[in-house]
Amino acid sequence: MKEAITDGVSIKVAVQYRLESSQPEQRIFVFSYDVFIENQNDFSIKLLSRYWRITDSFGNVKEVEGDGVVGQQPVIMPQKAHEYSSWCPIPTELGSMEGYYLMERSIDKSQFKVYIPKFILTEHSLLN
């Protein structure tokens, strides 16, 4: 599990290759990832948007931006966490993802970026 902490917000990511959803013969490799966002501050924060940089093993980069995560803009109370799961297809059996969330502090409505640690997307047999 990869972890990064920015401005009192911890991001942990776990990734898994999804053989049952992948079609290697058609160059579709599907990965799911679980994200655990923990607010270690003494004020609440709201997740406004996300930015992902997805890179395959050919060096091709896909950027994904949008409001919230999985259709939500969660408010995370002090010392609480928010978890969600999502997925990503790429055309190679090896790649990576990284990015950030744009958050808003409840105390003054200021916005800040919380960085998502770079994590590797890999089909299990590549590790053997």
Block means of pLDDT (10 residues each) for the chain, 128 residues, are 93 96 96 97 98 97 95 97 97 96 98 97 67
* CATH numbers and ranges of domains, the chain: 2-123 (2.60.40.1470)
pTM of the predicted protein model: 0.91
Which residues, including other chains, have CB under 8 Å from residue 30's CB and lie 6 or more apart? 17, 18, 21, 22, 87, 88, 89
> Alpha helices, DSSP H only, in 1-128?
none
Burial of 110 (0-12, 13-18, 19+ CB in 10 A): exposed
